[in-house]
Structure 1
Amino acid sequence: MNKITFVFISCFFILLALYSGVSEFNTTVQVVPAIAFIALLGIPHGAIDHILFLEKSSWSPLVFYLFYLGLIGLYVALWLVAPALSMALFLALSAYHFGQSQFADLSFSRMLKPLLYFAWGSTVLSGLIYFNRSEIAEIARSNEEMANLSAVMDPQFYLILLAVSGAIVAGILIFGLSRRMITFERLAIEVFVMGLIQFSFMVFPILTSFTLFFVVIHSLKVLSDEYDFMLNLRTKFSIGLFLKMLWPYTLLSLFGSGLLLFISYMDWLPISNLLLVFILISVLTLPHSIVMERFYKKRGA
């Protein structure tokens, strides 16, 4: 069992103890810790995209930033003309990205790797949506903009996706075990972790359970991979230097997001805070996922 799995299990049982005997936590109690942990660990995991991409690259910084910001601009435009399609694309990108960070170290074929990535991430997201369908429906009833995205949030579709994607993941991992591409211990841990992820979606509110997954299972894993990569490239590299690399764009992202949310809150922007959060996360996910695709290929080369 690695350290990240141990942290996830520990956090799960701490939350279980906090939630036991409490029928419902108010929104503030959920939102404040979620924002804090996402700000401290979630946002930083994408704060050195420029460094990871430009390392051993022929691209100039100017070309990279034009590419990165151009993708963000195109995705914002897509949200304005086709919000449901944009949400579907966001979920698909997130599914692949989550699965990639979980299994990039395995030596599967070029065909099986992307399928495993997408299926594992789809299992996570479909469970999140299906097991929190009542909460999502309540949000849609109170927010017209989110109600317009209800076609992308059909619970029955995600129940089927949960079963199908889960079966695909199981099949690929069992195949990997038979070919000695994965150990039985790793397989058992992956099954246990996925079970705990799904159970957390059942027993905790959607914001709490997603934050637990996103911060611990995903962001900590990516930060660890990024640190190890830089450690192998640079002499006298340390955690202090790594944190120094993370903070500039972390602060910039927090400031920019906070400013846009404030503008929305003041009704100076005709978009609700909730929809704006989805837009902000999704438009950053697109270029970030492309950078990480290149990063994991470079790391495995």
Structure 2
Amino acid sequence: MRKELTRITFRQLEVFRAVCEHLSYSRAAEAMALTQPAVSLQIKQLEELLGQPLFDYVGKKLHLTPAAEALLATCEQLLSQLQALDMRLSTLQGALQGTLQLAAESSAKYLTPHLFAAFRAQHPKVSLSLTVTNRAQLIRRLGDNRDDLTLMSQPPQDMALEFFPLLDNPIVAVAPAGHPLSHAAQLPLSALENYPLLSREPGSGTRKAVEEFLQQQRVHFKQGMELMSLEAQREGVLAGLGLALLPRHAVRGELGSGQLLELPVEGLPFKRSWCLLYPRQKRLSPVAEAFYRFCQQERLNLQRQLA
């Protein structure tokens, strides 16, 4: 190994990772409470040690060079190992300590804080770093090994994963108060076809589940509107733009207040499960392993508490 590489510091790697994340020296400096010249100096010193440039400016945008891509992969491994060492040393001292890097599908974000709070009641020194995104992005993050654990519905079948079903995810049809269908005692699913359906963006797990269900039931909506989040869907229904098939957890407050109504549709709710998972070849940190086991052991209690 070249002697120059042994002179790389963890501080330089942290600054480098921040620049990669923000693709901006100024935003990286702001995130790390440094000056922009200080960030530039750290990157320059890294480039001198590596003997290769790390970033290119193309069209006024910062781009990673092949050397930066290679360094970033190593950087993530080194910092992850250092964090794992910190956790293991804390465990040896008798207290679980560290940060759980958890990624969750958008539809699960309403439950994730409650789930972690139950775990943290037993391990108060553990903190949470939560990333919420859609299914497509979660699959990319799984492939890049970005997180400790992932909470999502319908685990991808083409990946080697360890997982178990954690919580039910009931999907219901919702309408605004006063909707023409609100007084029906029972409705066939086809009765919804004459109204616009508000759906999520491509890549959403909820959209994938809804499309598969409608296809199985041979129901086709004549009108539709694509919205980019569960919140936008919910507000769209409240505004009278159409109906939506949504996780019941995502509209619990509005159903309770009467702003939204759960329509009594035959075959609904249909259920999917949120699964807790990680790549099979991944070695879990002590915090991640403890959280995974906690969720397995407390699954029935959690289902009752979060139903």
**Structure with more strand by fraction:** 2
| TM norm structure 1 | 0.25
| TM norm structure 2 | 0.24
| Bigger Rg over Cα | 2
**Structure with more helix by fraction:** 1
